[in-house]
Chains A and B, each alone.
Chain A
Amino acid sequence: QKEVEQNSGPLSVPEGAIASLNCTYSDRVSQSFFWYRQYSGKSPELIMSIYSNGDKEDGRFTAQLNKASQYVSLLIRDSQPSDSATYLCAVGNQGGKLIFGQGTELSVKP
């Protein structure tokens, strides 16, 4: 079992729809959770962080965390073609190391 798992996609949604990206992790004592966006040929860019159970909203982005289910998700409302990218889930362990999933490719169709 991989430490951080994501559906590799590609996930295709129409413009204006909600994109839902999911991630599960194996280490129960993980403390911090992040979503990175990576455009093709570019480096990962931090877009959301979440540390406690529940929802965290930032503009069109909502991160959701359920530690009991070891599950993290990212919702993108009103998806735009510019949101087309690979989204990486990262989980921080107690030593401060971030472990990344393989990423989910999102394609938003006009």
Chain B
Amino acid sequence: EAGVVQSPRYKIIEKKQPVAFWCNPISGHNTLYWYRQNLGQGPELLIRYENEEAVDDSQLPKDRFSAERLKGVDSTLKIQPAELGDSAVYLCASSFLTGSYGYTFGSGTRLTVV
């Protein structure tokens, strides 16, 4: 079984530039999560999807962040424009049931904003 696939692995951009991250969940996992992990901290939820519906986006900074999950499979997280404080690892995870049995994380995208 293929795991959660994320790309790119690393991204370095200048502030005020846009950036996008892509995630392909494990086949059959209807729930998809985007988390952000700052250095030395635990992951923090940005948005959770049930199929194609965003059911929890309360922590997503909507002025600059957007996400979509077309057809309830792949998902894209976008930041526009990026700020220095957005430097972090962006983790995608998926689960078969709504997190009841834990998540499987992808390898993450390490974003550096300079």
- How many cross-chain pairs have Cβ atoms below 8 Å apart between A and B? 59
Q: How many residues of chain B have a CB within 8 Å of chain A?
A: 25
Partner of B56, one of A31, A32, A42, A97: A97
Which residues from 71 to 95 on chain B have a C-beta closer than 8 Å to any C-beta of chain A? 89, 91, 95
Please, what's the 1-or-0 string for B98-112, where 1 marks a CB less than 8 Å from any CB in chain A? 111111111110000
Partner of A98, one of B41, B97, B99, B106: B99
What's the least CB distance linking B93 to chain A, in Å? 8
Given contacts A44-B43, A88-B42, contact A97 B104 (CB under 8 A): no
Q: Is the CB of A43 within 8 A of B108?
A: yes
Given contacts A32-B100, A92-B100, contact A100 B106 (CB under 8 A): no
Question: Residue B40 at the A interface, CB < 8 A?
Answer: yes
Question: Residue A102 at the B interface, CB < 8 A?
Answer: yes
What's the least CB distance linking B29 to chain A, in Å? 13
Beta-carbon nearest neighbor of B105 in chain A: A43
Binding site for A on B (CB under 8 A): 31, 33, 40-45, 48, 56, 89, 91, 95, 97-108
